[in-house]
Amino acid sequence: MRNIRNEFIAKISSVLIILVIVSVLATIGLWYFEEDVTLFESLYCAVITMTTVGYGDITPVTTAGKLISMSLAISGLGLYAYFGTMIVHSITETSLREVIGMDKCNFKNHVVICGWNPTARITSLELLAQDKQLAVITENKDEVPKIKRIGDRKNLSPVFGDYSKREVLISAGVEKAESAILASDDDSKNLISIINLKKLNPNARIIAKTSREELKETMELAGVTYVSTPDTLVGKLMASATLEPTVANFIEDLTTSVGDKGYDLRQYNIPYNYKGSIGKLCHDIKKQTNAVLLALARKEASGRWDIHPNPRDNILLKRGDRIILLGSSEEFEKVDDILKTR
């Protein structure tokens, strides 16, 4: 977008410079060849002739003056026609770039989703429900209008291109992004994208999916925060649905933000100034809400997160610990106040 604007300004400037040069030369020529005509009157005649207004109050009488006026009229028509065409072309090009997703994303602390498919669509709807801004990269121009329909310009920016290329990732604003999600089924492109993402934004969280279990460790070593293996997750959920269908339905409800159930799972970072145990925290939360603490996450020396489901009350909380709560949006607002996360 910035390149188009700079190019447009450069063209406008060149046309204006040409207009000024032609006007100055014509003014000097008319003033030189025409008798009893002041310099200002020569300028007035030149401008009136170039704009094809032609009031007729001042007309050249010499052959040289008439030739200058004819040249001005022809060149003026050409310059103004070019000027108008350039403006229309710029407006059309800008609109076309927006339609096909060629505009640069200007979001900050947003999420970049690489690839458009059913997984990316569901992910986008979940994140939009949480008021997150998204830049969605697709390699298919026909998908851009479909992406636009799930959100608005304030929180959704479709980008057309190959997400494994650095320039496309830059167009999606990945350098200022909070997270990047590799939703594509193409493992080769995902691996290339991981490398480019780490170069462009080392601090961004990267979430990737792969159908190959053997690539999970490779992606984690490359810097991916979380690797999803859909076949494994679906297999476990289907087995649970076979043996304990109510449990499977409950898990499915918990993992979505879209719907009318009114409850969700949320992660909280323990603030550095909070002192106490799991038992004290549960007591503080229960005094004001019905939110339930389900798990404690603690980072190991290796960088992996060790999850403690239903943690014991006597575990002392440390700076950097995370807790996972089950509750409603209203209850989460109260927890925000308890932990002073707002």
pLDDT by residue (tens digit) across 235-262? 888 888 898 888 888 887 777 665 555 6
pLDDT of residue 54: 64
Mean pLDDT of 121-136: 91
pLDDT of residue 42: 86
What is the predicted pLDDT for the residue at 55?
A: 59
Closest CA to 160 of 147, 151, 177, 175: 147
Phi-psi category of residue 259: left, alpha or beta, with phi > 0 → left and psi -120 to 50 → alpha:
left
Between CA 264 and CA 120 the distance in angstroms is: 20
CATH, domain range 262-339: 3.30.70.1450
Q: Is the pLDDT of residue 173 over 90?
A: yes
The mean predicted confidence, pLDDT, of the chain is: 84
Band of residue 233 on the pLDDT scale cut at 50, 70, 90: confident
Q: Does the pLDDT of residue 76 top 90, yes or no?
A: no
Q: Is the pLDDT of residue 129 over 70?
A: yes
Counting Cβ atoms within 10 Å, is residue 170 exposed (0-12), middle (13-18) or buried (19+)?
middle
pLDDT at 174: 95
Name every residue whose Cβ is closer than 8 Å to that of residue 284 and which is 6 or more positions away in sequence: 276, 338
CA-closest candidate to residue 25, choices 47, 48, 2? 47
pLDDT given at position 195:
94
* pLDDT for res 69: 83
Question: With bands split at pLDDT 50, 70 and 90, how would you rate the model's confidence at 141?
Answer: confident
Say if residue 18's pLDDT is above 90.
no
Band (pLDDT 50/70/90 cuts) for residue 100 is very low
Q: What percent of the chain has pLDDT over 90?
A: 34
pLDDT of 96 above 70 = no
What would be the CATH architecture of the domain defined by 2-99?
Orthogonal Bundle (1.10)
Strand, coil or helix: what is 205?
Answer: strand
User: 178, 111 in Cβ contact below 8 A?
Assistant: yes
- pLDDT value for 257: 62
Q: Pick the more confident residue, 1 or 20.
A: 20
- E strand map for 140-196: 156-160, 179-182
Alpha-carbon gap, residue 38 to 315, rounded angstroms: 95
| Per-residue model confidence (pLDDT) at position 250 | 83
Distance CA 103, CA 159 (A): 7
Name the fold adopted by 111-228.
Rossmann fold (3.40.50)
What average pLDDT does range 19-43 have in this prediction? 85
Average pLDDT over residues 66-74: 83
- Pairwise pLDDT comparison (144 vs 54), residue with the higher score: 144
Best mean pLDDT range from 172-176, 227-231, 272-276: 172-176
Residues of the chain with CATH 3.40.50.720: 111-228
pLDDT of residue 4: 55
User: Residue 7's pLDDT is what?
Assistant: 67
| Tokens (6 digits) for 244 | 């304990």
Confidence band for 340, pLDDT divided at 50, 70 and 90: confident
Q: Where along the chain do the CATH 3.30.70.1450 domains lie?
A: 262-339
In which residue ranges of the chain is CATH 1.10.287.70 found? Answer: 2-99
Reply yes or no on whether the pLDDT at 91 is more than 80. no
Q: What are phi and psi of 326, to 5 degrees?
A: -110, 125
The pLDDT value recorded for residue 101 is 45
The two beta strands, 134-138 and 111-114, are: parallel
Phi, psi at 29, each rounded to 5° = -65, -45
**Residue with the larger pLDDT of the pair 42 and 7:** 42
Give the whole-angstrom CA distance, residue 162 versus residue 177.
Answer: 18
And the tokens for 169? 């990732």
